[in-house]
Amino acid sequence: MANTAHAHAADAADETRRDFLLHTTAAMGVVGAGMMVWPLISSMNPAADTLALSSIELSLAGIAEGQRIKALWRGKPVFVSHRTAQEIDEARKVNVAELRDPQTDQVRAKKPEFLIVVGVCTHFGCVPQGTASTEVRGEFGGWFCPCHGSVYDTSGRIRRGPAPLNLEVPAHTYINDTTVRIG
Partner 1 sequence: MSTEKSGPTGKSAWRKAYEWHEARLPIVSWLDHSLGTKYPVPRNLNYWWNFGSLAMFMLAVMIFTGIFLAMNYTPHVSLAFDSVEHIMRDVNYGWLIRYMHANGASFFFIVVYIHILRGMYYGSYKSPREVLWWIGILIYLAMMATAFLGYVLPWGQMSFWGATVITNFFSAIPGIGQSIVTLLWGGFSVDNPTLNRFFSLHYLLPFVIVGLIFLHIWALHVPGANNPLGIDAAPADKIPFFPYYVMKDVFGLGVFVVIYFIAVFWFPNALGEPDNYIKANPLQTPEHIVPEWYYLPFYAILRSIPNKLLGVILMFGSILILFALPWLDTSRVRSGNFRPVFRIFFVTWIIDVLILGWVGSQPPEGIIPTIGLIGTIWYFIHFAVILPVVGWLETPKPLPASISQPVLQAAE
148 labelled catalytic = yes
Task: Using CB under 8 A, pick the residue from 4, 5, 6, 45 that binds partner 1.
Answer: 45
User: What does the DSSP assignment read for 26-86?
Assistant: HHHHHHHHHHHHHHHHHTTSPPHHHHHT--EEEE-TT--TT-EEEEEETTEEEEEEE--HH
Q: Does 48 bind partner 1 (CB under 8 A)?
A: yes
* Binding span for partner 1 by CB under 8 A among 47-55, 80-88, 106-114, 155-163: 47-55
Catalytic residue, candidates 23, 82, 148, 172: 148
Q: Please give the Cα distance from 170 to 183 (Å, whole number).
A: 7
- Per CB under 8 A, 13 contacts partner 1: no
The count of chain residues that interact with partner 1, using the rule CB under 8 A, is: 12
Q: Read out DSSP for 83-142?
A: --HHHHHHHHSS-GGGSSS---HHHH-SBTTEEEEE-S-TTT-PPPB-SSTTS--TTTEE
In the complex with partner 1, the residue whose CB is nearer, 50 or 179, is 50
**From 34-42, 86-94, 106-114, 127-135, span contacting partner 1 (CB under 8 A):** 34-42
Contact call for residue 35 and partner 1 (CB under 8 A): no
The footprint of partner 1 (CB under 8 A) covers 2, 38-40, 42-45, 47-50
